[in-house]
Structure 1
Amino acid sequence: SIADQIAESRTESLRQPGRPDRSLAQHRAILDAIAAGEPRQAATAMRRHVRTVAKVRLLDWDPGDSPS
């Protein structure tokens, strides 16, 4: 399960100045593409969002940490 990692990433991400608005915009882009029936645009928007979240998680990652 990656639920704990997702929750931690979300918490860290949303602490960054301006990040809540950017995150909302990314979620809206995903939703808008789905609603418009544009699966490629939705996939691109989702990949962009996942990369953004992954970068936040990596900023807080310590290679010495043991996996949960």
Structure 2
Amino acid sequence: MTGPTPATTANAQICRDCDGFASAKVTLGGRDRIGHLRTVTAHCPACHGTGTASARRPRPMDWAVAA
């Protein structure tokens, strides 16, 4: 098999906002004149439809220790 190794649960960074379900088809409530169901695709705004999240970089305020 060639190509990248598929992500497994051990190394996958799953998006926290969509839990890996990054895209969904939403019906518009009608059919066109040919009879096809009218749909639009909605993508997760956090991961842009990939279902994965990049590694989180700590922000400087996360480094602060409570006094």
Same fold (TM over 0.5): no
Which of the two has higher C-alpha Rg? 2
Structure (1 or 2) with the greater strand fraction? 2
Q: TM-score, normalised by structure 1?
A: 0.31
Q: TM-score, normalised by structure 2?
A: 0.31
Structure (1 or 2) with the greater helix fraction? 1
